[in-house]
Structure 1
Amino acid sequence: MIVCFRRMAARANAMDEGVQRWVAALPPSRADRALLRLTRSANHSGLWFAIAGLLAARVGVTRRGALRGLIAIAGASATANLILKPLLPRRRPPAEHLPLYRRLQRRPTSSSFPSGHAASAAAFATAVTLDSPRAGLVLAPLATVVAYSRVHVGVHWTSDVLAGAAVGTGAALLTRRWWPVRDSDEASARPLRRMPALADGDGLLIAVNPRSGDASVDPTEDVRAAFPAAEVLVLEPEMDLIERLEGILAARNGEIRALGVAGGDGTVGAVTSVARQHRLPLVLVPAGTLNHFARDVGIYDLQEAVDATGTGEAVAVDLGAVDIDPGEPGGGTRYFLNTASLGAYSELVRRRERWQGRWGKWPAFAVALVRTLRLADPIRVRLNGQWRSVWILFVGNGPYHPRGMVPAWRPRLDSGLLDVRWLRADIRFSRTRAFFALVFAALEHSHVYEQHELPLLEVELDRPAVLATDGELGRRARRFTFRVASHQVPVYRRDESNPRWATRDRPFQPE
């Protein structure tokens, strides 16, 4: 084996020296100065950070790709600079082999193997391509030129660059272990036809929450301009939104053909419950901070809502329901679009969202998990008749992806199932085990973690606890019955990228 390794090393050295002689013999050109500037711009991944900022300016696949790219760069840089360079020291190509005008003024002094610039370039380009192939087509040639520039300016051998590119590509592909690639920007759902086409918003009552999302942006006037024929209800402090909507619907006596909402998930949830009650389709305008539900549906901006209402295209979406203290005085039903939780989950999400802008989603989630579990108290809960001690109980409106990690998105919106997950507290060192299982992407296989997909979940606590639905806290209670609501809600969405239109001829029938 040692002999074989030496032969491979000798062949690599011969190739490196041959390429270096060929590069040194190239005639002067304008490319020399351009490559010098380009290779300097990629120092400390500055070039890729700048491009990531541009990609992140737009919500959607490019933003996800930018974040994945930065995570991949961190992994590739750590592997190349902290592990491989000290472990495999190698001299850089002699500077005197190149003409003076092509040399870097400040030559790096670290090990030549592997190329950190090539690792970062390949990591970023590959990671962005996983989420946005179109952006990847633009970045791949740039990453290739950056990698070649290290040979052109004489600070790396060709094999250094190839090894660095392999490290970077591997780091990018490895991110899928913790953060699976989303195949589509929208979840699948049963398509509906014969929904009312709302030209200019005619027949639409839309509630706008100007305090949702960015405090400096008020979407009200944009909504009025997009739906000039609609009736716009602007939320004011202390307004009872549901009561106000019910009053308008009663006064209009059938004139309202659809309800709309521009706001965050809390506002969307309130309007959706009214739409379900009156069997009205829903128009979504994402105007909140995170817009989880709108992103799963596939509505990313106001124009997409305008297009869908203009054509009358929609999909049927499940609505989660939870009966609180059923059969007892003061009991009732709450509906949720995304998630419901008991225990420490709501606090975990709050911490993750506060820190993920600085550290990225998965590092923020890992730190938030440690912090939350360290401070949390377990809850004693009976799940479908069996008593358990858990740290967190999560209930999703439909199966979430990925399994065994933080729930990120739903592949379907009409499965008729709940996604039930919990972290056990009755196992020794359960919190420590949960953290390391998350770090090594093995939570799904850990005894601490359980996940089931159920149509119904009955929960009883040994003492009252607060239920959180879609980030909103409710009152304390001891008994909860989680289920999928009996009636789906039609939500306007264009059919451009949804391949599941084989049942398009099935009209929506209000029950």
Structure 2
Amino acid sequence: MTLPWQRNRGIRQITQGLGTLDREVFEAIADSPTPLLDTIMPPLTRAADHSKLWFAIAAILMSSGNPGARRGAARGVATLGVTSMVTNQVAKRLWKRPRPNRTSVPLPRQIKRFPTSSSLPSGHSASAAAFAVAVGLESPGLGLALALLAGLVGLSRVATGAHYPGDVVAGFGIGAGIAVLGGRLVPPVVETRLPRTEPLVVDTPERPDGAGVVLVVNPASGSGTGARVLGEVREALPRAEIVELGEDDDPEQILRDAAARAEVLAIAGGDGTVSTAAAVAIDAKLPLAVFPAGTFNHFAKDIGCPTVADTVGAIRDGSVVCVDLVCLNESRMVVNTASIGAYPFFVQTREKFEHRLGKPVAGIYAMLHTLRKDEPVTITYDNKTLQTSLFFLGNSVYLPAGFAPSRRTRMDDGLIDVRILETGRPLARLRILAALAFGRLERSPLYHEMQVPEFSFTSANGPIAVARDGEVGEEYDEATFTSMYRVLPVFRPLP
């Protein structure tokens, strides 16, 4: 039987042994006459003073334009602040340890301003680990590179005589622990990775001069963009027939007349007009060429034709692939998105402010603004009844996850992307805003997301207006959305 005093003596012996080992390792590093350490360690440890090194790296990451790098920089700086406070105001007050005797450290390697605070733990090491791990949560590749740099910063604190190795290890533990805890409280954004498949390519003749192409264009679309597109197409595809829509023309009828004599149906307009053209092209069994002439041109951009030159090049080369559409109640086509409730208002508000406030802050403001002015509807789907004012449905899977879908990497996955925010539960608005602010919306029980080949809902309060591709459409008591897998051949540049 081991007595308490024996256990305590054993613990003291272990502690003393670790302290001796810590001092011996310090002396081995300090006594090492290495010119490389003398040259690199002092400037590196000075660069890390007051976290200047990490703030400079964060500024570079923020200006990179890479979403993962920018999120990592923001998370890194926030974690750095918390870690610095915990280390200097809490940890150093709990453990008092004198600084090492630096007489054995070569003079060229010694730092000029020797710190007087407790040696345990190393604040520089804690900040380094906090920043590196926090960035790594959002961007693993960058995190690995920064972890190596953080290790060098920790080594510099020993090499210059500021800390024992144990102080550095303790600092690393504190910084990494706070970063991991932050990742649990505010989960990092995990980009959805979609399976890659080969596109379905359709054998189509080359049309270097546009022969057989009938283009229907609204010259007034996109605040006059349609007129510019018209001129570019006339010059690039001289044999293409161009039909200009007048103010009193019925776009669908004009498109059907054009399809009757076309080998390729082409459209220049906004996404609402593209949706109508897609339905006509399917009925006529024609490939569709889309020229970006609207305000946002989401469909044209997502198929790889953000400019007139891209579409012209695809027509000349005969580059055609098949993409999905969504059919609403077997009568209406959706090329991008459908929604009910206040979702279009939410998107408009967010886009209005995101360039000034940044997307996260603009998203929170738009959500607050929308929830204050929303008119919720009650729907039933999958044997569940809920109240919502923010309902999004997309053709193919959108990225990123959460309630700010913005892009598609493919449009032939045979899936419908459905995202719903439930607003009928107690304190729903406050819970939604809190989840959005802390990055936990995807884990909230008020958030519903699914990727399915078909989705249906019924209204409990009478007909609901369904917006399609940015335009308010008809009202429905029941709505069924069905993915039409690779139903539409479109011209797009091939990789």
Classify the TM-score, shorter chain.
0.5 to 0.7
Matching of residues 108-257 of structure 1 within 5 Å = 112=123, 114-117=125-128, 119-120=130-131, 123-124=134-135, 127-128=138-139, 144-145=148-149, 148=152, 152=156, 158-159=168-169, 162-163=172-173, 166=176, 177-183=187-193, 188=197, 191-199=200-208, 205=215, 227=236, 231=240, 242=251, 246=255, 249=258, 253-254=261-262, 256-257=263-264
Q: Specify whether residues 226 and 308 from structure 1 end up closer, same or farther in structure 2 by C-alpha distance, changes over 3 A only.
A: farther
Is the contact made by 1:264 and 1:286 (CA closer than 8 Å) also made in structure 2? yes
Query: Which SS does the other structure have where 2:80 is aligned?
Result: helix
Distance 1:430 1:145, change over 3 A: closer
Q: Distance in 2 between matches of 1:272 and 1:417?
A: 18
Instruction: Find the residue that maps to 1:318 and give its secondary structure.
Output: strand
Q: 1:346 offset after TM fit, Å?
A: 1.9
The 1:175–1:189 alpha-carbon spacing in structure 2 relative to 1, beyond 3 Å, is farther
Q: Does 1:259 align with 2:266?
A: yes
Tell me what 1:338 maps to.
336
Deviation digits for residues 405-453 of structure 1, max 9, x if unmatched? 5445557634544334433344222223334455666656654344453
Over the aligned positions, Cα root-mean-square deviation in angstroms equals 5.6
CA distance, structure 1, for counterparts of residue 242 and residue 191 of structure 2:
38
Q: For residue 459 of structure 1, what is the aligned residue in structure 2?
A: 458
State the partner residue of 1:502.
none
Q: Quickly say closer, same or farther: Cα 1:367–1:107, change in 2 above 3 A.
A: farther
| 1:80 corresponds to which of 67, 80, 83 | 83
| 1:48 lines up with 2:21 in the alignment | no
- In structure 2, relative to structure 1, the CA distance for the partners of 1:172 and 1:77 (3 Å cut) is same
Structure 1 counterpart SS, 2:322: strand
CA shift, 1:220, in A, is: 5.2
1:176 Cα offset (Å): 10
1:321 and 2:332 correspond: no
1:84–1:114 contact (8 Å) kept in structure 2: no
The separation in 2 between residues aligned to 1:248 and 1:109, in whole angstroms, is 84
Aligned pairs (5 A) from 1:275-354? 275-283=281-289, 292-293=298-299, 296-297=302-303, 309=315, 312-322=318-328, 334-354=332-352
1:206 is displaced (CA, Å) by 8.3
Find out whether 1:69 has 2:68 as its counterpart.
no
Encode CA deviations 1:221-273: one digit per residue, 9 max, x unaligned.
Answer: 996699555759799997979469739936x932x525265x87556545545
Match of 2:425, SS?
coil
1:413 maps to which residue? 411
Deviations 1:25-83 (A, max 9, x none): 64765997799679899546234323442x32xxxxxx333433334334533443344
**Equivalent residue number for residue 477 of structure 1:** 475
Matched, 1:427 2:445: no
Distance 1:78 1:22, change over 3 A: same
With over 3 angstroms needed to count, the CA separation of the structure-2 counterparts of 1:173 and 1:119, relative to structure 1, is: same
5+ long unaligned stretches in structure 1 = 57-62, 131-135, 327-332, 497-511
Contact between 1:286 and 1:294, CA under 8 Å: does it hold in 2? yes
* TM-score computed with the length of structure 1 as normaliser: 0.65
Change (3 A) 1:374 1:413: same
Distance 1:478 1:108, change over 3 A: farther
The one-letter amino acid paired with 1:253 is R
Residue identity matched to 1:49: A
> How far apart are residue 399 of structure 1 and its match?
4.6
**Residue type of the alignment partner of 2:72:** G
Letter of the structure 2 residue corresponding to residue 180 of structure 1: V
SS for the counterpart of 1:320 is strand
1:8-19 equivalent positions in 2, closer than 5 A: 15=25, 18-19=28-29
- The one-character-per-residue Cα deviations of 1:88-129 (angstroms, maximum 9, x if unpaired) are 338888999575798588999997154435543564477445
Residue 490 (structure 1) shift: 1.7
Q: How many aligned residue pairs are there?
A: 467
Q: 1: CA distance between counterparts of 2:114 and 2:277? A: 61
TM-score by length of 2: 0.67
Residue type matched to 2:327 in 1? A
Change (3 A) 1:297 1:123: farther
2: CA distance, partners of 1:264 / 1:163: 55
In structure 2, relative to structure 1, the CA distance for the partners of 1:234 and 1:429 (3 Å cut) is: farther
The CA deviation at 1:401 is 5.6
One-letter amino acid matched to 1:183:
R
Amino acid at match of 1:353: E
- Match for residue 488 of structure 1? 487
After the TM superposition, which residues 16-27 of structure 1 pair with which residues of structure 2 at under 5 Å, given as runs?
Answer: 18-19=28-29, 22=32, 26=36
